[in-house]
Amino acid sequence: MKADRYPSAVSLNEVLEARAKEDSKKLWLTLYYRDKVYRTLTYGELYEGALGWAGEFMSRGISPGGRVLVILPTGVPFYESYLGVLLAGGIPVPLYPPIRMDRLGDYRRNLTHIVENSGARFIVTDRKIRPFLGFAPEAVTAIVPSEVGKEAPGELPSVSGDHIALIQYTSGSTGAQKGAVITHENLLANIRAIGKALDVREDDVAVSWLPLYHDMGLIGNMLGALYWGVELVALSPIDFLRRPSRWLRMISNSGGTISAAPNFAYSLVSRKLRESEIAGLDLSRWRVALCGAEPISAETVSHFTEKYAPFGFDSGAFFPAYGLAENTLAVTFSTLGKPPVMAEVDLEKLYLEGVVVEPAEGRKSRKIVSVGKPLDSVTVTIVGRDGVALPSGHQGEVVVKGPSVMRGYWKNEEETGRALKEDGLHTGDLGFTLDGDYFICGRIKDLLIKGGRNYFAEDIEDAASQVDGVRQGGIAAFSVYGEGGDEEIVVIVEAVSHREELAAEVSKMVSEITGLRPDRVEVTSPKSIPKTSSGKLQRYKARQWYLEGRLGLGGKVSEVGFVTTLLGMLKALFGADDKKGGK
């Protein structure tokens, strides 16, 4: 275990300044563009650049606690400007740049909400992005990297542990985006606990393509590498998506030991890469392949570990984890060096009774991947609807306590009150414990009820994904009101080619695996289903778009879905009968 140099530091500012003094010439960052080294940064250069940004902010009159939106792609300006905001005593608010021009209107609406909620006066962006943001010049002041000088500021403001170091807007996977308020104390507590759990070593090399506006990329990689003095090798998410093999090739070429990604990335490189793309890989030094940020598929774990075993990948390196922005980043980690733990559970018992039992022969089952155990100083409790802690093997809400729990949601007392209670942070996630390990089943808001049973949207989507022709990651399951006022289950699948029998095959597969036959299965074109900036499925928005006819299903289908659902809602709310005009 690498020694913790800064156990008494109270802010990231203090850590950055110390690193610059002690390791000024040491390489911190190697940044790739496509397949070539684009930039490198030492700790001294990083600090010098951050000071230049701090001077710029202070010369423009940023006050302590002033919010600054950072809307930049992966690159040196992001690293330096984010840290520059902190040095100037401000609060950085990292946001994703506009990616899809066909959804620019939605992006601008989200951005307007965040600007209004945060009260930010400045936006750091580049000249290419600025025209797409949609703001009048008087609304906020845009600062582009080319305008920033190298002049260091005068005396930097004093920053303590309870100062806010980040407003992390949630991905919006189940509703409107909320700003989780994270202090320096929160960040340092989580980064220290992560380093201890990963047994950070002197020769570790972190490799990342994760976006810097997302907590896994920002805290887990950028700030974690800074604190622990780990060399960071990075490329942009766009470069990864254009050629996913770049991720594995960078790990191989750099001797990467730690790298994290969501489930979809491990699935992608397990299924889509040609033999020529992975020939000659050496993954023998990769000791922590952290997987989190979305539900972890047992199938993905098996496929990835089997496919890359011949390239030196050890199954004990696959490292499922659980976390959320409201706890800064990480909550539970797996055990180093041990293959992932899985539990096969009886689906009917889980759906009907919320209890975990092994399935009898012939019973429908689900294999759930453990996300390990709580980090140091973190307490995780599974509670029932009455708030009472549940014993092992019983499903309930995941409640988290510890020094990394957010202060609250920025200017949102109502949502803060719902999340933060006396017993801790109510995550909205369902899970259970078994033999000391923690398992996450899904989101409470994503539960689908049919015939008195609870079904997880993830289970339905996972079943649908096993049909040939269905685009992986392009599936959404949700419920709408039917004509009779009852909930009906809708499954939307993306497919490159629309075979007539595809919908029927999806319905059959879902029924065989989960025991639920969807009421409606619709097929749409790729990239129609809405996702968050970090790639998470937005089921609530998919449902809304389905009702509004925005999922590319064709006017007739969408209109029928809208009218049927509207009639069902009226009947459910008022007992109205559309044929008789009354009760």
- pLDDT higher than threshold 90 for residue 361: no
CATH topology of domain 451-574: GMP Synthetase; Chain A, domain 3 (3.30.300)
Quickly tell me which residue has 């010369």 as its tokens.
59
172 — alpha (psi -120 to 50), left (phi > 0) or beta? left
pLDDT of residue 446: 81
The predicted-structure confidence for 3-37, as pLDDT tens digits, reads as follows 899 999 999 999 999 999 999 999 999 999 988 99
pLDDT of residue 566: 45
Q: Which amino acid does the sequence have at 223? A: L
The predicted-structure confidence for 329-340, as pLDDT tens digits, reads as follows 999 999 999 999
12-242 is a CATH 1.20.1440.230 domain: no
The predicted-structure confidence for 235-277, as pLDDT tens digits, reads as follows 999 999 999 999 999 999 999 999 999 998 999 999 889 999 9
pLDDT of residue 483: 59
Q: What is the residue-averaged pLDDT of the chain? A: 89
**Which pair of structure tokens corresponds to residue 233?**
């090798």
The predicted-structure confidence for 140-185, as pLDDT tens digits, reads as follows 889 999 989 877 788 899 999 999 999 999 865 555 689 999 999 9
Q: Is it true that 341-443 and 451-574 share their CATH fold? A: no
CATH topology of domain 341-443: Luciferase; domain 3 (2.30.38)
Rounded distance, CA 131 to CA 139, Å?
14
List, as one string, the DSSP characters of 407-450: SEETT-HHHHHHHEETTEEEEEEEEEEETTEEEEEEEGGGEEEE
Q: Which of 238-247, 483-492, 563-572 is the least confident region? A: 563-572
Q: What is the pTM of this model?
A: 0.84
**Which pair of structure tokens corresponds to residue 86?**
């902190």
The predicted-structure confidence for 43-93, as pLDDT tens digits, reads as follows 999 999 999 999 999 999 998 999 999 999 999 999 999 999 999 999 999
Give the closest residue to 195 by CA, choosing from 164, 170, 221.
221
**Which pair of structure tokens corresponds to residue 157?**
């403001």
- pLDDT higher than threshold 70 for residue 569: no
Question: Mean pLDDT over residues 506-520, rounded?
Answer: 90
Rounded distance, CA 133 to CA 344, Å?
47
Give the pLDDT band of residue 583 (cuts 50, 70, 90).
very low
Domain ranges of the chain: 12-242, 341-443, 451-574
